[in-house]
Amino acid sequence: MSRPDRREASQLRALNCSLGQLNRADGSAQFSAGNTSVVSGVYGPVEAKVYEEKLDRAVVEVKFRPDIGAPTTKDKWMESAVRSTFEREILTHLHPRTLVQIVIQLREGDGSVDSAAINVTSLALVDAGIPLKCMITAATCAVLSDDTTVVDPTQEEIDAARSTHTFAFASGSPTESNARGPLYVDSRGEFTMDEYNHCYDLCALAAERVLAFMRTAIEGKVTKEAKISAA
C-alpha cells in the first residue's frame, strides 16, 4: 500500500502554525497540515447582545467561513461541532454576560478540515488568553476501500474512502491524553467496530503529536515575550 503523497499510513502531513498574526483580533492563529490551511480569530470576552447574553456564563459563538462562496449547511455543521467541543472546556462561568466569538476562515481545504478547525481554534483561544480547562487537539482517519486505515487523509483519499473518523481529545490528564475519552467524535460511512477502535487509537496518537507540536509553538511565543519583559 502506498499513499499518493508517499506518506506512511500513520504519518501526519507537515504541520505549520503561527500565533497572533491578526492585529485587530484579541487572539489569532494559523494552522496548516499539508495543503489544508485554516486561520482563526478570537474576540473576547466582549459585550454580548442583550438577547443572547447568559447571566451565569459567557456565550461561545463560532463562525466558519469557507474558502469559496457563502457558508452552506456543511459549514453550519462545522460551527456547531467546534462550538460543542469548546463550550464545555472554556471556563465560561468566569466571564458571565459576555461573548467569546471564534471566527474560523478556511484558506484551503484538502481533507481533514474539521480536525484542522478544532486545532486552530485551540491555538487562537490560547493566544487570546481565554481561560481553558485543557488544550484540545483533533485528528482525522480514513478507512480506504482496501481496508487500510490512514491518518490525516487528503481530500483525494477521503473521496475514495469507505469511512472517515475525526476525534478530538483533551490534554492535561495526569496519565495519558485520552484518559478522559474523546470530546468530539464524527464518523461517516460504513465501518465495523474494529475499524472504529483502530481509528480511535490512531487518532489519539496523532492528536498527541499535534499537541506536542502546538506546545512547542506556544512555548516559543511565550518565551520570546517573557525574555523581552525580563530584559
Partner 1 sequence: MASTKVVLPGDIIDTRREEDTTQQEPIVEDEATVIRLGPGLIQASEAVTAVTAGVLHSNSDTNRWWVAGNKRRYVAAVGEPVVGVVVARHGEGYRVDIGSAHDALLPLLAFEGATKRNKPNLAVGTVVYGRVVVANSVMDPEIECYNSNTGKSEGYGELSEGFMFKCSLGLARRLIDTKAPVLAALGSGVPFEVAVGVNGRVWVNAENVETTILVANAIRNSEYLDAKQCRQMVKELLEKQ
Binding site for partner 1 (CB under 8 A): 25-27, 43-47, 91, 94-99, 126, 128-135, 170-172, 174, 214-215, 218-219, 222-231
Contact between residue 167 and residue 205 where contact means Cβ atoms under 8 Å apart: no
Q: Which is nearer to partner 1, 89 or 157 (CB)?
A: 89
- How far from 174 is each of 55, 122, 203, 221, CA to CA, in Å? 33, 20, 19, 25
Q: Which is nearer to partner 1, 117 or 125 (CB)?
A: 125
Residues in the chain: 231
Q: Which residue has the cell 506546545?
A: 215
H-assigned helices in the chain = 73-87, 113-128, 155-160, 193-230
* CA distance linking residue 91 with residue 79, whole number of Å: 19
Shortest spacing between CB 36 and partner 1, in angstroms: 23
Q: Which is nearer to partner 1, 11 or 98 (CB)?
A: 98
Shortest spacing between CB 46 and partner 1, in angstroms: 5
Q: Which is nearer to partner 1, 6 or 224 (CB)?
A: 224
Q: Which is nearer to partner 1, 160 or 222 (CB)?
A: 222
Q: What is the DSSP-derived secondary structure letter of residue 43?
A: E
Shortest spacing between CB 71 and partner 1, in angstroms: 26
For the record, the C-alpha cell of 105 comes out as: 476562515
Shortest spacing between CB 212 and partner 1, in angstroms: 11
